[in-house]
């Protein structure tokens, strides 16, 4: 369980996606197309021959692609791992297709054409099914996430992105997310386009669409917890705000009593008010309850409040009398 906690949210999404059923034949082809766009490489072998290879960092995604190529197109890829010397030797899964299989793949994806002279050429093609079928749109975006997707830890940030190595893929991804009603945005990183989504709701919609329903539940939990924590922080700030107001009131009362004392002397007050005035003057920060406890005999909050109000009124009266006097002079 602890190991699972340390696993990134994105890799949990991938883990869920690679276990989904391979789906309908149209969708299988759409997912293959997306994985080919995002993590496939074509090498020219001369004489019109090509060989395709895929590099994927996620072993689960590589296994799924292996299954898709085998089941949908009857291909026999080879699968091996390489360790990059950089980045602490991260393992990369490499899938390779021989010339004949590559030809079958490119034909199935409508990316190879043969001209009148029998010469084969590669062409750039927008995959057809995902553009018109909703089921295939989901499959294509799933493949794109497996091949080039990542997402931030939702505890910290709601951010999901898909890298696009060429402008054509950028266009396809933008169109597909737009058709799905998701407002994606784009920025450039190291000369590469990155399509991204912000906001918990949009990310949840995207994950639902590509079939990561367990991840959506977990995202929803995170969102609720974050909202509860934010509400708790707001409530705490509000308490703080109240006590600041209380402090202000105490300071104002102490100041009014100081003026009263300067202008007419506290000894002129009835004994009960005198004791209260001295207590407040010495303790401007105390709450009403604490002030009441200082009295002999102790007083309740409302009695303290009543006496302080009486003192404030006397101070105000004194001040307005003075102003009147000033007016006359
Ligand atoms: Zn489909």
What does the angle CA 88 – CA 89 – CA 92 come to, to the nearest 5 degrees? Answer: 135
Round to whole Å and give the CA distance between 95 and 182. 32
**Residue 110 class from Cβ within 10 Å (0-12 exposed, 13-18 middle, 19+ buried)?**
middle
pLDDT tens across 153-196, in order?
998 999 999 999 888 999 999 999 999 999 999 999 888 999 99
* Mean of pLDDT values over 136-162: 95
Reply yes or no on whether the pLDDT at 46 is more than 70: yes
Distant-in-sequence, close-in-space partners of 45: CB < 8 Å, separation ≥ 6: 51, 99
Question: What would the DSSP string read from start to end of 48-82?
Answer: TEEEEEEEES-HHHHHHHHHHHHHHH----EEEEE
Kindly give the distance from the C-alpha atom of residue 3 to the centroid of ligand 1, in angstroms, as a whole number.
Answer: 36
Q: How far is the CA of 93 from the centre of ligand 1 (A)?
A: 27
The rounded Å distance from CA 245 to ligand 1 centre is 63
Across-strand partners of 42?
A: 52
Average of pLDDT values for 5-17?
A: 87
Q: How far is the CA of 280 from the centre of ligand 1 (A)?
A: 78
Contacts of 263 (CB under 8 A, 6+ apart): 318, 322
Distance 138 CA to ligand 1 centre (A): 8
| Percentage of the chain lying above the pLDDT 90 cut | 52
The pLDDT assigned to 226 comes to 86
pLDDT of residue 88: 64
Does 239 or 69 have the greater pLDDT score?
69
Q: Which residue in 74, 61, 62, 71 sits closest to 25, CA to CA?
A: 71
What's the CA gap between 14 and 144, in Å, rounded?
A: 11
Q: Kindly provide the b/e burial profile for residues 254-276, where b requires at least 16 CB atoms within 10 angstroms of the residue's own CB.
A: bebbbebbeeeebeebeeebebb
Residue 55 has pLDDT above 70, yes or no: yes
pLDDT confidence bin for 86, thresholds 50/70/90: low
Helix (H, G, I), strand (E, B) or coil at 122: strand
Give me ligand 1 centre to Cα 174, in Å. 19
User: Ligand 1 center to residue 181 CA distance, Å?
Assistant: 18
Residue 1 has pLDDT above 60, yes or no: no
The confidence band for 318, taking pLDDT boundaries of 50, 70 and 90, is: confident
Residue 64: how many other CB atoms lie within 10 Å: 23
- Rounded average pLDDT over 286-298: 88
Q: What crossing angle do the helices spanning 200-210 and 213-264 adopt, rounded to 10°? A: 170
For residue 87, the model assigns a pLDDT of: 59
User: Could you tell me the sign of the dihedral formed by the alpha carbons of 216, 221, 224, 226, in that order?
Assistant: negative
Span from the CA of 14 to the centroid of ligand 1 (angstroms): 20
pLDDT digits (tens, 9 = 90+) for 218-263: 999 998 888 888 888 888 877 777 777 777 888 889 888 888 888 8
Using the mean position of ligand 1's atoms as its centre, give its distance from the Cα of residue 61 in Å: 19
> Rounded distance, CA 30 to CA 269, Å?
90
Q: Which two tokens stand for residue 166?
A: 């060429």
pTM, full prediction: 0.70
Distance CA 221, CA 174 (A): 29
Element (H, E) at 267: none
d(CA 11, ligand 1 centre) in Å: 25
- The predicted pLDDT at position 140 comes to 97
All domains in the chain, ordered by first residue: 2-226 (3.10.28.10), 240-328 (no CATH)
Q: How far is the CA of 23 from the centre of ligand 1 (A)?
A: 8
Least confident of 41-45, 96-100, 118-122, 196-200: 118-122
Share of the chain above pLDDT 70, in %: 93
- The answer on pLDDT for 72 being more than 50 is yes
Give the pLDDT of residue 3.
45
**Average confidence (pLDDT) over 273-288:** 88
Centre of ligand 1 to C-alpha 107, Å, is 18
Ion ligand 1 nearby residues (CB, 5 A): 24, 26-27, 133, 135-136
Cα-only R_g, the chain: 36
Answer whether residue 6 shows pLDDT above 80.
Answer: no
């Amino acid at each position: 369980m602890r190991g699972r906690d340390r696993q990134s949210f994105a890799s949990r999404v991938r883990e869920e996606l690679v276990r989904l059923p391979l789906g309908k034949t149209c969708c299988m082809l759409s997912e293959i197309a997306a994985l080919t766009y995002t993590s496939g490489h074509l090498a020219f072998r001369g004489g019109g021959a090509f060989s395709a290879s895929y590099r994927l960092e996620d072993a689960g995604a590589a296994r799924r692609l292996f299954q898709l190529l085998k089941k949908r197109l009857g291909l026999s890829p080879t699968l091996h791992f390489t360790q990059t010397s950089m980045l602490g030797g991260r393992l990369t899964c490499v899938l390779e297709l021989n010339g004949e299989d590559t030809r079958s793949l490119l034909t199935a994806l409508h990316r190879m054409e043969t001209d009148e002279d029998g010469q084969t050429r590669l062409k750039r093609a927008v995959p057809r099914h995902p553009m018109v079928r909703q089921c295939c749109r989901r499959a294509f975006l799933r493949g794109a996430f497996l091949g080039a997707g990542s997402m931030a830890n939702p505890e910290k940030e709601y951010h999901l992105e898909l890298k696009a190595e060429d402008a054509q893929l950028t266009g396809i991804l933008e169109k597909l997310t737009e058709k799905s009603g998701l407002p994606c945005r784009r920025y450039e990183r190291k000369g590469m386009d990155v399509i991204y989504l912000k906001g918990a709701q949009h990310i949840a919609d995207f994950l639902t669409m590509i079939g990561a329903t367990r991840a959506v539940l977990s995202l929803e939990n995170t969102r609720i917890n974050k909202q509860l924590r934010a509400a708790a922080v707001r409530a705490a700030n509000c308490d703080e705000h109240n006590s600041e107001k209380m402090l202000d009131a105490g300071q104002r009362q102490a100041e009014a009593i100081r003026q009263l004392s300067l202008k007419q002397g506290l000894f002129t007050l009835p004994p009960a008010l005198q004791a209260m005035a001295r207590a407040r003057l010495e303790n401007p920060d105390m709450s009403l309850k604490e002030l009441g406890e200082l009295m002999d005999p102790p007083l309740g909050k409302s009695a303290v409040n009543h006496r302080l109000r009486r003192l404030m009124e006397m101070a105000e009266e004194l001040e307005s009398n003075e102003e009147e006097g000033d007016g006359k002079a």
